Amino acid sequence: MSAAAMSLDGKVALITGAASGIGRAASLMFAEAGAKIVACDLSEAVNETAQAVRDAGGEVMAVTMDAGSEPDVIAAVKAATDSYGGLDVLFANAGITGGLRGFFEGTPEVWAETLRVNLIGPFLAIKHGAPEIMKRGGGSIICTASVAGLRFGAGPAQYSASKAGVINLVQTACQSLAGTGVRVNAVCPGLTETGMTKPAYDMARAAGKEHKIGQINPLRRGGQPEEIASMALFLASDASSYLNGQAIAVDGGLSSSHPVAPGTVREVEEGLKTVREP
């Protein structure tokens, strides 16, 4: 694949959750690929992301907004079109965990807020972003889902359910946008070092157990924001021009298996080896 295929030269990209983690990495990466960036986040730290993009030679504007608020989403999209003349790429990346309560400790309030940000937020981004992208003849919308949305075991209940909703949302949206040239896909990160997961990483490091982070995936490590942002860049670019309605796991291989008892894989391999040998 040529570098030109991954170019976003001349395009305008709006990124939510841009104050840190995957959103900040994507802002820098998309700008390096040639896009003008509209970096959005509820946190004032989004201005630090904007400054980092400028320091790297990119063109960017920062917008403080709540990804789950329809007026804020409308205003962010308008800021993009007013400032840069249109919109080509939308990365609906903002999200929250809703806390680490057990299933029966969850409350309707926690569930409602998690769904508001994680699922209604991407819906609003698509609802208001897609018509502007259509005016440019088509483009790409990427939503951040999660491996937690694929199956149990990668996040608390309200978070997992919200991300499962995102996966279905991109499928529904791509069908609703059939014939418009607007593609909608999801990236499903595994455990990745971001602002959201910082407490878990800090706890592991303080306990001298950093080496155990990500130990249950085949790569035996956690991910970095840039590794997820790279997939988002691919989905944003023309290199993925025939990819639509998909949820792609970027998780070190975590979602490639069903749960097995410790040692089971090794036992099976040894058994097969015995069968093969005379």
Q: Which residue among 84, 159, 201, 242 is the active-site one? A: 159
Q: Which tokens is 37 given? A: 């960036």
What are the b/e assignments for 191-209, b being 16+ CB within 10 Å?
bbbbbbbeeebeeeeeeee
Strand partners, 87: none
DSSP 119: I
Residue 23 structure tokens? 């959103």
Q: What is the CA radius of gyration of the chain?
A: 20
Helix, coil or strand: residue 219:
coil
Residue 159 annotated as catalytic: yes
**Sheet of 182-189: strands edge to edge?**
60-64, 36-41, 12-16, 89-92, 139-144, 182-189, 247-250
Closest among 28, 154, 175 to 91, alpha carbons compared:
28
Q: What number of other Cβ atoms are within 10 A of residue 152's Cβ?
A: 9
Catalytically active residues, by annotation: 159
